[in-house]
Amino acid sequence: MEKRPLGRSGLAIAPLVLGGNVFGWTTDEATSFALIDAFVDRGFTMVDTADVYSTWVEGHQGGESETIIGKWLKRGGARDKIQIATKVGMPMPAGKGLSKAHILAAADASLKRLRTDYIDLFQAHIDDPATPLDETLSAFADLVAAGKVRAIGASNYVAPRLADALDIASAKHLPRFTCLQPHYNLVNRALFEGGLQDLCRREGVGVIPYYALAAGFLTGKYRSEADLEGRARARTVSHYLDPRGLDILAVLDKIAARYQASPAQIALAWLLAQPGITAPIVSATSLAQLDEILPAAEIKLDADALSRLDRVSA
């Protein structure tokens, strides 16, 4: 499988990233192990998680997803076959933000839970305006120098702040953000397209968008309020159940039929065709879901399909 360079990080990754946000939440430990096994066996490489996964679940403290990945490694998962991406900055019992002290302490806590000596991609989960950017980048520099982190990235940054961070890194010879993790998919294009996308392309910043399937909406399984009953992400998906969202599903259905594919595969193939995109993040709660998603990496949409999806989602 062809791997794509992740910005200027020196990392090359397969064209889909496995989202670990579900580990220990909507997938138990055994299912999470099976998902990682299948993902790696198919030639994919990067698993994305965060220290904060999954504090929103009653009784959880955060770190549950990282802990499951660490147990997978201890069970015999090959460290050289997997690239681990995790994040810091969201509220945790031990603190939040991107101060140097918090980043260094959080990195050590993540490494302990992950049962590994290094993190392939360590990301600032959300911008922290209260902390100077050079302080944040200095903390990442210490982690890189210590061999605990291979590359750094940002998540949920707006274009001006990402540009400032890149400029400071260059001026002060600090590690640069080589990757951005934005919210980006067919039904939510405005947050990334435009200035942020242009900046990433101009500066050679890799892009691994999250919510690539809009919390499952773009799979086509949610087409009415009745379909949302009892679903973990009902509140998120309900925002897409409007005429525009249903029009997007209708076009996905038609293109999927032509390609003998699923709507989810076509939605991911559209993302992979967008300028500057390295690899969308995809989550699955069963092996059947994973088997449906992964073939998207091999689908190349023609100009007509891309144009139709562009128009209906504009």
Tell me whether residue 213 is in a domain.
Answer: yes
Would 312 be classed as within a structural domain?
no
Under 8 Å between Cβ of 115 and 79: no
- Cα-based distances in Å from 76 to 26, 80, 114, 115, 245: 23, 11, 13, 12, 43
Does any domain span residue 223?
Answer: no
Q: Give me the pLDDT at residue 69, please.
A: 98
Tens of pLDDT, residues 222-268: 887 777 777 767 777 888 999 999 999 999 999 999 999 999 999 99
Query: Would you say residue 314 lies in a domain?
Result: no
**Total structural domains in the chain?**
1
Question: What does the mean pLDDT of the chain come to?
Answer: 96
pTM: 0.96
Give catalytic residues, as residue numbers.
53
Q: Give the torsion through C-alpha atoms of 273, 267, 186, 25, to 10 deg.
A: -120
What share of the chain in percent tops pLDDT 70?
99
| 145 within domain boundaries | yes
> What pLDDT is attached to residue 231?
76
The per-residue pLDDT for range 24-61, each reduced to its tens digit, is 999 999 999 999 999 999 999 999 999 999 999 999 99
pLDDT, one tens digit per residue, over 163-181 is: 999 999 999 999 999 999 9
Angstrom CA distances, 16 to 146, 177, 182, stand at 29, 20, 15
Mean pLDDT within 8-16:
96
Is there a contact between 177 and 133 (Cβ–Cβ < 8 Å)?
Answer: no
User: What are 71-104's pLDDT values in tens digits?
Assistant: 999 999 899 999 999 999 999 999 999 999 999 9
Residue 56 lies in a domain: yes
Helix (H) or strand (E) holding 251: helix 243-259
Range of the domain at 26: 4-217+267-299
Residue 295 covered by a domain: yes
Cα distances from 163 to residues 67, 97, 124, 170, in angstroms, run 34, 19, 15, 11
For residue 228, tell me if it sits in a domain: no
**pLDDT given at position 15:** 98
Are 237 and 231 contacting, i.e. CB atoms less than 8 angstroms apart?
yes
CATH no. for residue 117?
3.20.20.100
